[in-house]
Amino acid sequence: MKKKILVTGGGGFLGRYIVEQLRERGDVVTVFARGNYPELERIGATLTRGDLQDNDAIQAACAGMDAVFHVAARPGIWGTWESFYQPNVVGTQNVIDACRTQRVPKLIFTSSPSVVFDNQPQAGCDERLPYPTQFENFYSQTKALAEQMVIHANTSELLTVSLRPHLIWGPRDPHLLPRLIARAKAGQLMQVGEGKNCVDMTYVEDAARAHLLAEQALQPGSPVAGSIYFISQDAPTNLWNWIRELLQTLEIPPIKRTISQGTARTLGAAMELIWRSCRLSTEPRMTRFLASELALDHYYDISRAKHDFGYVPQFSMETALERTLPYLRKYA
């Protein structure tokens, strides 16, 4: 039986893959987004334009849906509190309210491991990891608030689940790897820390597939209902070795400079102060949060996702890179 599915942010990087996989599954898909995405209409999705902060628009979009995938969010590590709070917290509350009012039975929320990152190494941690007492960026803080709202909203009438895919990458990536490549080409990329830290990454097709598997398993009495799950390729990778190999493959000059985590955090704090004082809208090249992310371990145990809804990555890191390289070469 075909399901009627709403995907907020369906025109974004991860959202588009979720829409494509839902259509391949045979579902009737509506995309709620601010922009126009004719490529999604060409594969049979219906486009509804609107803003997460418009409660009436969200209410109308959720009417008659069997499930909502709430993927839309304001990303990034710099900006004002309000610019993150309104879409990420108020927008999520609007989605929850609409699901309740319109009697949507399932809500699948896209979160991030950054909601629990506390500037300490996190090696093989699971979902029992607590939220930090302080956050160093508004994205992580507002996503943590939104995630807690989604989980607390879980009832027998509205089943909810939150997924935390880590460092999503792959073809059509508009942010992570293109920005890294641009900095490397400009000679601005420096290794932060000793270069021994391992991180999780998530290939975008697997990240999308995890969302579909979670939706299928989101049933009354299932452990998935009201739960949180880390998602990754289950292959912790030495970050700086991987970056060096990527740059070499793309024939981009190698990284030549190294900076300690402490120095990078000091530099990040200074840049944050300057950017805040001068009310600059651009993103600083370094922040305290970014320095710690680049220098420390952050990889997670995905055993719960494997056990509760059968998530197993379909692509190795090597295969994922092979599938992504043709896309990345246009940036090299």
According to DSSP, the β-strands at 159-165 and 198-199 are unpaired
The whole-number mean pLDDT for each consecutive block of 10 residues of the chain, a chain of 332 residues, reads 94 97 98 94 95 95 98 94 97 98 98 96 97 96 98 98 97 94 94 96 98 98 98 97 97 95 96 92 92 96 98 97 96 90
- Per-residue pLDDT, 253: 93
What is the reported pTM?
A: 0.96
Q: Is residue 253 part of a domain?
A: no
Q: Is residue 240 part of a domain?
A: no
Examine the residue annotation and report whether 300 is marked as an active-site residue of this protein.
no
Q: Is residue 138 part of a domain?
A: yes
Query: Which one is catalytic: 37, 139, 299, 300?
Result: 139
Write out the DSSP string of 105-163: -EEEEE--GGGG--SS-EEEE-TTPPPPSS-SSHHHHHHHHHHHHHHHT--SSSEEEEE
Q: How many domains does the chain have?
A: 1
Q: Is residue 140 part of a domain?
A: yes
Residue range of the domain that includes 140: 4-173+202-233+299-315
- Does residue 253 sit in helix, strand or coil? coil
Residue 310 CA to residue 267 CA, distance in Å, equals 43
User: What does the mean pLDDT of the chain come to?
Assistant: 96
Residue 227 in tokens: 């739960």
Q: Helices 176-185 & 239-249, crossing angle to 10 degrees?
A: 70
Dihedral angle sign, alpha carbons of residues 265, 111, 124, 328: negative
Instruction: Give residue-wise pLDDT tens across range 226-256.
Output: 999 999 999 999 999 999 999 999 999 999 9
CATH code of the domain containing 136: 3.40.50.720
Q: Helices 55-62 & 91-101, crossing angle to 10 degrees?
A: 40
Q: Is residue 74 part of a domain?
A: yes
Residue 287 CA to residue 295 CA, distance in Å, equals 12
Q: Is residue 244 part of a domain?
A: no
Q: Is residue 50 part of a domain?
A: yes
Q: Is residue 290 part of a domain?
A: no
